[in-house]
């Protein structure tokens, strides 16, 4: 067997690790970021666990990290967690030949062209229920600890990820409830981004503003699903509507006629409330461009570790290009 490659997908809440051995992802592990003072400490804990399972972790010379943060130079400081590190120093400390560090949504976007039917679920029916146009740009949005936005475009036989910080674009209301939200959040925060609403904390802010009570996001979704609590159902409905509107904006900006994908940890937990929501209607609700949006399929990613698939592809490309 070839020497394993270390892969990581670092979010604001969890760090997901895997070893790629002969092209396959193995020894997948999920660690809570809050349990470790540094990224290096989390890597140590994961590698110790993998070594105990019999993997040759001492032979690792190539690694790739997808992280929920802009990656613009050597120093990486996470926006939604306290970890920071130097890419060059981490590579030297780990005695790596290659250390690739990329935005997590760029890595996730790289996985999109290769997802199989069992790794995604269609949202909505009608003209947008097809597979999308072959070779056309594909969009991605994902609410979790923060809000990730990315895309992927094809150039010849290769796909190229487009990483950005679209989650911090300004929020534009589309309903009376959303106008109330914008007014309240502007008074509290000044600038109101899409991420301010489309995240775990965003759902809590929506509920606090509309219902007048402070609840954790898990309790809001739990009450909405479990007891059909009217206030919680209203907050979830608002969240899904805003997500549809912002996803439509991303699709228009990218010309994502290859499809629009939803990722992140929140939407899968909403179950029927999401699929029965106004998401798809708000996605298409763009005035004269509604017919254009109606033809774009929307999908929920159901695979548990798609960013690891994408970052593995990016690492392989970097190693092959340097050979």
pLDDT digits (tens, 9 = 90+) for 117-161: 899 999 986 665 567 888 899 999 999 888 989 999 998 888 899
SS3 state at 212: coil
**Paired tokens of 237:** 């409905």
The closest of 250, 268, 274, 269 to 260, measured between CA atoms, is 250
CB 68 within 8 A of CB 12: yes
CB 31 within 8 A of CB 45: yes
pLDDT (0 to 100) of residue 156: 84
204 torsion bin: left (phi>0), alpha (psi -120 to 50), beta (else): alpha
Distances (CA, A) of 287 to 169, 248, 292, 322: 21, 12, 10, 48
Residue spans per domain, the chain: 5-104+305-322, 116-301
β-pairing verdict for 158-163 and 147-155: antiparallel
In CATH terms, the fold of domain 5-104+305-322 is: Nucleotidyltransferase; domain 5 (3.30.420)
pLDDT (0 to 100) of residue 207: 98
SS3 state at 241: helix
pLDDT (0 to 100) of residue 47: 97
pLDDT (0 to 100) of residue 27: 97
Helices (H), the chain: 39-52, 87-93, 104-111, 176-189, 194-197, 200-211, 217-226, 230-254, 267-270, 272-275, 279-284, 290-294, 306-322
CB 151 within 8 A of CB 108: no
The closest of 309, 267, 239, 306 to 123, measured between CA atoms, is 267
pLDDT (0 to 100) of residue 322: 63
pLDDT (0 to 100) of residue 69: 84
Intervals of the chain under pLDDT 50: none
pLDDT (0 to 100) of residue 321: 67
**Paired tokens of 54:** 């019999």
CATH label, 116-301, candidates 3.50.50.60, 3.40.50.970, 3.30.160.110, 3.40.367.20: 3.40.367.20
pLDDT (0 to 100) of residue 146: 87
pLDDT (0 to 100) of residue 4: 95
Beta bridge partner(s), residue 323: none
């Amino acid at each position: 067997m070839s020497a394993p490659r270390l892969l990581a997908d670092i979010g604001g809440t969890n760090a997901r690790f895997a070893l790629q051995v002969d092209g396959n992802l193995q020894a997948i592990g999920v660690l809570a970021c809050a349990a470790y003072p540094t990224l290096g400490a989390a890597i140590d804990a994961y590698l110790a666990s993998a070594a105990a399972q019999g993997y040759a972790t001492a032979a690792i010379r190539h690694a790739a990290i997808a992280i929920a943060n802009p990656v613009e130079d050597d120093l990486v400081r996470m926006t939604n967690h306290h970890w920071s590190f130097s890419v060059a120093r981490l590579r030297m400390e780990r005695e790596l030949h290659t250390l690739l560090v990329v935005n997590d949504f760029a890595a996730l976007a790289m996985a999109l062209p290769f997802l199989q039917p069992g790794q995604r679920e269609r949202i909505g029916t009608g003209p947008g229920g097809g597979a999308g146009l072959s070779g056309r740009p594909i969009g991605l949005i994902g609410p979790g600890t923060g809000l990730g936005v990315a895309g992927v475009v094809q150039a010849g036989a290769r796909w190229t990820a487009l990483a950005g910080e679209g989650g911090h674009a300004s929020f534009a209301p589309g309903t009376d409830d959303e106008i109330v939200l914008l007014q309240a959040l502007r008074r509290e925060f000044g600038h109101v981004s899409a991420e301010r609403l489309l995240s775990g904390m965003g759902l809590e802010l929506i509920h606090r503003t509309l219902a007048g009570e402070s609840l954790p996001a898990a309790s809001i979704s739990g009450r909405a699903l479990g007891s059909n609590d009217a206030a919680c159902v209203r907050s979830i409905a608002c969240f899904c509507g805003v997500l549809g509107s912002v996803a439509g904006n991303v699709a228009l900006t990218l010309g994502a006629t290859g499809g629009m994908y939803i990722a992140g940890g929140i939407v899968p937990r909403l179950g029927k409330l999401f699929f029965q929501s106004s998401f798809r209607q708000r996605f298409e609700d763009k005035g004269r461009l509604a017919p254009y949006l109606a033809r774009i399929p929307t999908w929920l990613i159901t695979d548990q570790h798609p960013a690891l698939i994408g970052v593995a592809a990016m690492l392989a490309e970097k190693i092959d290009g340097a050979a």
